[in-house]
Amino acid sequence: MIRSTLLVLALSLPSVFGQSPEWGQCGGIGWTGATTCVSGTVCTVSNAYYSQCLPGTATTTTVSTAPPTSTSTATTSTASSPASTGFVTTSGTRFTLNGARYTLIGENAYWLALGGYSTTDINKALSDIAASGATTVSRLISTRGFNEVTSANGIYFHLWSGRSATVNTGANGLGMLDTVIAAAKQHGLRLIVSLYSSRSDYGGMDVYAAQLLGSGQSHDVFYTNPTIIAAFKTYVQAVVTRYVNEPGILAWELVNEPRCSGSSTTASSSCTVSTITTWVSTMSAFIKSIDSNHLVGLGDEGFFNEPGNSDYMYQGSAGIDFVANLKVSTIDFGTFHVGNCWGETNTVPWGTQWITDHATAMTNANKPVILEEFGISNSSTRASTYTTWYQNVISTGLTGDLIWQAGSQLTNGPTANDGYAIYPGNPEYAAMQAHAAALKARG
């Protein structure tokens, strides 16, 4: 929902030569960087794909065999807790983990893997998120399509050269996501990873069309053109198979905020809600065929398809049918967003009704549904608005929610604030802490 220019951030990447820093990767299938760790840390195997420099020394026990009993530092006390193992699954309208209820509550932090932050700063940000009561962090990789580039600069995930593209698995590519995943697990957090973006802020769907078909394409050729679908599957396969055994990932989402039209391109006249539902079926089934461990969601704004309804968000003209997409057998849960209520005048009651209507759809589908992004830019009414919406999440039985967006004070100052960021100490942060406790108690 949020559209501000991401600041150009100074890169502060862990060295891929020499020794890996604390929390950095030091081994695993496909890893070509350093395999030794800086003093005071030990290279510890997380899984076949990932070894990490954890605090400790080689002459004493490693974290994996003897978790510290001290709770003074969250970064080490949860290193091998059961919360870091097992895959989140669903049971009716709820998420479960290792047989127990998993309360999905948290924040969006697209910048974690994209901002060029040091592992120290990533740990600080995740510590702030965890202290809010969160269990989950959403929208990694692709909220802004930032991963999609045609020249290799800074952090990027997918590099195009003409009609061919390669996934960047280096330290300035998926290596950043590896670091975030490993750190998140240390804080008892799981990630929802959005594989792609419909928006064109920093790449996105329109890049596929431009590279593979040439300029001037409708936005929705992404959903229908066989060449584009095949290329997108190749990219998805490379990312998903890399993390297939990674419990730190809660779910994959197909794409951030898909619509028939793009943020800078238009829709063809043939694009309807069924165009996108067909694509959702194809892509979610494809992911399930290569990854049976992870949940799959869409990442849409949650528009309803009620032709004739005068409200844009309910009339289907964007190309999204929330109810139909949630019925797709390979979609495990539903997502919806609300950002300033798209210009609705009565923001608070409109958003409250929007939550109620998605809770009804949740019950009808018997699948979890999450309010995945919500944000109000008016700071004078924001805390009270969120409190009202939180109360409606609790009372309607909606599965969970994720605020847009997390903020932290890091080494070089505050993380980027698009007008919606919530920092520790803000009233909205305290409201979230109270809500997280209430949601966990509600079950």
Ligand X SMILES: *[C@@H]1O[C@H](CO)[C@@H](O)[C@H](O)[C@H]1NC(C)=O
Q: How far is CA 60 from CA 35, 41, 65, 255, in A?
A: 19, 11, 10, 45
Nearest to 443 by CA among 407, 411, 400: 400
CB of 382 to ligand X, least distance (A): 9
Kindly tell me which of 169 and 388 has the beta carbon lying closer to ligand X: 388
Given 59, 65, 69, 380, the residue binding ligand X (CB under 6 A):
380
What lies within 8 Å, CB to CB, of 8 at 6+ separation is: 154
What lies within 8 Å, CB to CB, of 375 at 6+ separation is: 1, 2, 338, 339, 340, 403, 404, 405, 420
CB of 346 to ligand X, least distance (A): 11
In whole angstroms, give the CA distance from residue 343 to residue 336.
Answer: 16
Q: 381 — phi, psi (to 5°)?
A: -115, 0
Kindly tell me which of 215 and 380 has the beta carbon lying closer to ligand X: 380
CB of 345 to ligand X, least distance (A): 11
What lies within 8 Å, CB to CB, of 382 at 6+ separation is: 376, 428
Kindly tell me which of 381 and 412 has the beta carbon lying closer to ligand X: 381
With CB under 6 A as the contact rule, which of the stretches 8-16, 30-38, 232-240, 377-385 interacts with ligand X?
377-385
Q: How far is CA 269 from CA 219, 275, 318, in A?
A: 11, 11, 12
Kindly tell me which of 105 and 383 has the beta carbon lying closer to ligand X: 383
Kindly tell me which of 264 and 378 has the beta carbon lying closer to ligand X: 378
Q: Are 360 and 298 in contact (CB under 8 A)?
A: no
CB of 347 to ligand X, least distance (A): 9
With CB under 6 A as the contact rule, which of the stretches 112-120, 242-250, 277-285, 375-383 interacts with ligand X?
375-383
Number of residues that bind ligand X (CB under 6 A): 3
Kindly tell me which of 310 and 380 has the beta carbon lying closer to ligand X: 380
Q: Does 378 bind ligand X (CB under 6 A)?
A: yes
Catalytic hit among 253, 372, 373, 428: 373
CB of 428 to ligand X, least distance (A): 14
Catalytic hit among 107, 246, 253, 257: 257
Q: How far is CA 253 from CA 140, 163, 195, 334, 434, in A?
A: 10, 25, 6, 10, 28
Q: Are 311 and 358 in contact (CB under 8 A)?
A: no
Compute CA 130 distance to the chain's CA centroid, rounded to the nearest angstrom. Answer: 15
With CB under 6 A as the contact rule, which of the stretches 170-178, 216-224, 373-381, 408-416 interacts with ligand X?
373-381
With CB under 6 A as the contact rule, which of the stretches 158-166, 202-210, 376-384, 392-400 interacts with ligand X?
376-384
CB of 414 to ligand X, least distance (A): 21
The DSSP letter of residue 357 is: H
Within 10 angstroms of residue 48's Cβ, the number of other Cβ atoms is 11
User: Is 373 designated active site?
Assistant: yes
CB nearest ligand X: which residue?
Answer: 378
Omega of the bond leading into 405 within 30 degrees of 0 (cis): yes
Kindly tell me which of 172 and 387 has the beta carbon lying closer to ligand X: 387
Cα–Cα–Cα angle for 313, 314, 317, rounded to 5 degrees? 75
CB of 378 to ligand X, least distance (A): 4
Given 98, 164, 309, 381, the residue binding ligand X (CB under 6 A):
381
Q: Does 346 bind ligand X (CB under 6 A)?
A: no
Residues that bind ligand X (CB under 6 A): 378, 380-381
**Residues recognised as catalytic:** 257, 373
